[in-house]
């Protein structure tokens, strides 16, 4: 099932379907992370990254690649689920700052607000495309921040994007 099809499910099943979709997807499973909570309104997701044999590096802490990968696609998935099939959402850029090695499980909370969704829709109505940046903090059980990730997403009106992409590729063929 595509994320944009979540709206076809009854409201009470959407959060469960989104959680299961992430947890069963091979690329997300490979990160070592698991989605442990999805809010009924799909505006908050909590991910847990355990320290396991698969996520441990040579010094015994959580591998940096797992820390980075576990944040990939979560905000994009939330936005696709909430904005629907008429909006393109792409991860555009990301930066990571390792603050402290983690020798235990970490959690990350991904949040959006209704106001953010309204701002995105207004920007898409006005400019047909926009970018948004979202910070993600991976925290230990005591609340200590171990890693900071900044994810930048590109969003566009699907009809505009397809038309713009066709024009760009046609112009490229001429040159």
Q: How far apart are CA 136 and CA 47, in angstroms?
A: 11
Tell me: pLDDT of 5 over 90. no
Asked if the 3-174 domain carries CATH number 3.10.129.10, the reply is yes
Instruction: Find how far residue 152's CA is from the centre of its chain.
Output: 10
Average pLDDT over residues 117-136: 98
In the predicted model, what is the mean pLDDT of residues 113-131?
A: 97
The answer to whether 57 touches 64, Cβ cutoff 8 Å, is yes
Helix (H/G/I), strand (E/B), else coil: 172: helix
Share the mean pLDDT of the chain: 92
Q: Domain coordinates of the chain in residue numbers?
A: 3-174
Q: Of 1-10, 69-78, 165-174, which range is least confident?
A: 165-174
Q: Which helix (H) or strand (E) covers residue 150, if one does?
A: strand 145-157
What end-to-end distance do the CA atoms of the chain give, in Å?
40
pLDDT value of residue 110: 98
The string of pLDDT tens digits covering residues 89-104 is 999 999 999 999 999 9
Q: Return the ∠ at Cα 33 (arms to 73 and 54), rounded to 5°.
A: 125
What pLDDT was estimated at residue 170? 63
**What are the backbone dihedrals phi and psi of residue 43, each rounded to the nearest 5 degrees, phi first?**
-105, 0
| pTM of the complete model | 0.89
Measured distance CA(101)–CA(98) in Å, rounded:
7
Asked if the model's pLDDT at residue 174 lies above 60, the reply is no
Question: What confidence tens digit (pLDDT) does each residue in 54-68 have?
Answer: 999 999 999 999 999
By percentage, how much of the chain surpasses pLDDT 70?
Answer: 92
Buried b vs exposed e over 110-133: b needs ≥16 C-beta within 10 Å? bebeeeeeeebeebbeeebbbebe
Residue 4 pLDDT: 57
β-pair partners for 63: none
pLDDT band for position 175 (50/70/90)? very low
């Amino acid at each position: 099932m595509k994320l944009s099809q979540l709206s076809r499910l009854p409201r009470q099943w959407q959060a469960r379907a989104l959680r299961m979709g992430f947890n069963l997807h091979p690329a997300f499973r490979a990160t070592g992370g698991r989605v442990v909570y999805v809010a009924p309104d799909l505006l908050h997701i909590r991910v847990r990254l355990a320290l396991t044999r698969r996520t441990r590096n040579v010094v015994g802490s959580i591998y940096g690649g797992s820390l980075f990968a576990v944040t990939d696609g979560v905000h994009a998935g939330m936005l696709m689920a909430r904005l629907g099939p008429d909006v393109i959402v792409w991860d555009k850029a990301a930066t990571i700052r390792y603050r402290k090695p983690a020798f235990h499980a970490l959690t990350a909370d991904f949040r959006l607000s209704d106001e953010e969704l309204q701002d995105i829709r207004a920007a898409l109505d006005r400019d047909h495309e926009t970018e948004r940046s979202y910070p993600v903090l991976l925290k230990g059980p005591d609340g200590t921040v171990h890693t900071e990730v900044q994810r930048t997403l590109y969003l566009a009106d699907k009809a505009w994007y397809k038309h713009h992409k066709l024009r760009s590729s046609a112009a490229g063929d001429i040159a």
